[in-house]
Amino acid sequence: MTLSKALADCAIKINKTMEDLLPEAMGAEAILLDAMKYSSLGEGKKIRPFMVLQSSKLFGVKEESARRVGSAVEFLHSYSLIHDDLPAMDDSDFRRGKKSCHKYFNEATAILAGDALLTLAFEILSDPLTAEDSSVRCQLVNFLAKSAGHQGMVAGQTIDLLAEGKTLCLDEIVRMQSLKTGEIFAFCMVSGGILGSASKLQLDALKKYAYGFGIAFQIVDDLLDVEGDIDTIGKPGGQDAKVEKATLVAKLGVEEARHKAVLLVDESIEALKLWGAEADHLRSLAQFVLERQK
């Protein structure tokens, strides 16, 4: 199966699982549930759930468990996008080719929808239907909390906002992007190993793949902001330059940043040497990052 077919199949499965996990939009809080669905279902490549499913396959994990974990991380990712788009953050009116949550609904509803999606992620991970072993569930909850909170994504976003208009050194930018983007990818890869009782050697290899992948992904995202527009990337381009964001593209220049992304992808692929053909989709995914247009 080609990577594009595998990604499409994963998106269909994850959307179905997410739809099943989301509550019905009933009662006085219906607008909240509508906003949660609006921002999490449908559009999106579902790369993070795909990584969960593929890493889980390396260890023979039941697909139902992997789909639940993949859905949880996608709900968390959707929360982060809702909050990133708010006026106090990146102030973006569009996401994935449609109005941002706060523009389609309102700011208060967007904040609450993000809060609800974040907490739903942990509700799913702590449910025995995700994993029978309570210690496995605790490991998943603990790892995602660290990856998403003050030691991970939220820390990276904080540094990103504070760095606007300032000059960061190369190592500072790499650290920021590792926190902002790499930590969640690390969860996606390691979650399959946690579900499948992986060894420390295997978990370390999965983390190495994820961190290289994450920084390369962020570089390409920043390149798209420089070179793309709303018709190609689903949101207005040029936003990073407008607020003088600290990015590797701004620091290194377009061509050197692109070369850096290639080197990082090579490192990610090398990290998968413990596995054979069963990891081919993950190898192809790393290459796909360099070619993506949105």
State residue 215's pLDDT score: 94
State residue 44's pLDDT score: 78
Give the Cα separation of 137 and 134 in Å (integer): 5
| DSSP per-residue letters across 165-226 | TS---HHHHHHHHIIIIIHHHHHHHHHHHHHTT--HHHHHHHHHHHHHHHHHHHHHHHHHHH
pLDDT in tens, 198-226: 999 999 999 999 999 999 999 998 999 88
Question: What count of other Cβ atoms lies within 10 Å of the Cβ of residue 271?
Answer: 23
- Give phi and psi for 223, each to the nearest 5: -65, -40
- Alpha helix segments (H runs only) across 62-106: 63-84, 101-104
- Give the burial class of 251: count Cβ atoms within 10 A of its Cβ; 0-12 exposed, 13-18 middle, 19 or more buried: middle
Give the percent of the chain with pLDDT over 90: 82
The packing angle between helices 3-21 and 63-84, to 10°, is 80
- Give phi and psi for 245, each to the nearest 5: -70, 150
Per-residue confidence in pLDDT tens, the chain, 294 aa: 899 999 999 999 999 999 999 988 889 999 999 999 999 998 778 999 999 999 999 999 999 999 999 999 999 999 999 999 999 998 999 988 899 999 999 999 999 999 999 999 999 999 999 999 999 999 999 999 999 999 999 999 999 999 988 889 999 999 999 999 999 999 999 999 999 999 999 999 999 999 999 999 999 989 998 876 555 555 555 566 666 778 899 899 999 999 999 999 999 999 999 999 999 999 999 999 998 766
100 and 94 Cβ atoms separated by less than 8 Å: yes
For 275, residues 6+ apart whose C-beta sits below 8 A from its C-beta are 58
State residue 116's pLDDT score: 97
Nearest to 275 by CA among 59, 70, 2: 59
State residue 292's pLDDT score: 79
pLDDT in tens, 132-168: 999 999 999 999 999 999 999 999 999 999 998 888 9
State residue 293's pLDDT score: 61
Separation in Å, CA 187 to CA 83, 140, 248: 20, 8, 23
State residue 130's pLDDT score: 98
Give the Cα separation of 215 and 64 in Å (integer): 29
Separation in Å, CA 127 to CA 13, 123, 138: 19, 6, 10
State residue 237's pLDDT score: 55
SS3 228: coil
State residue 287's pLDDT score: 95
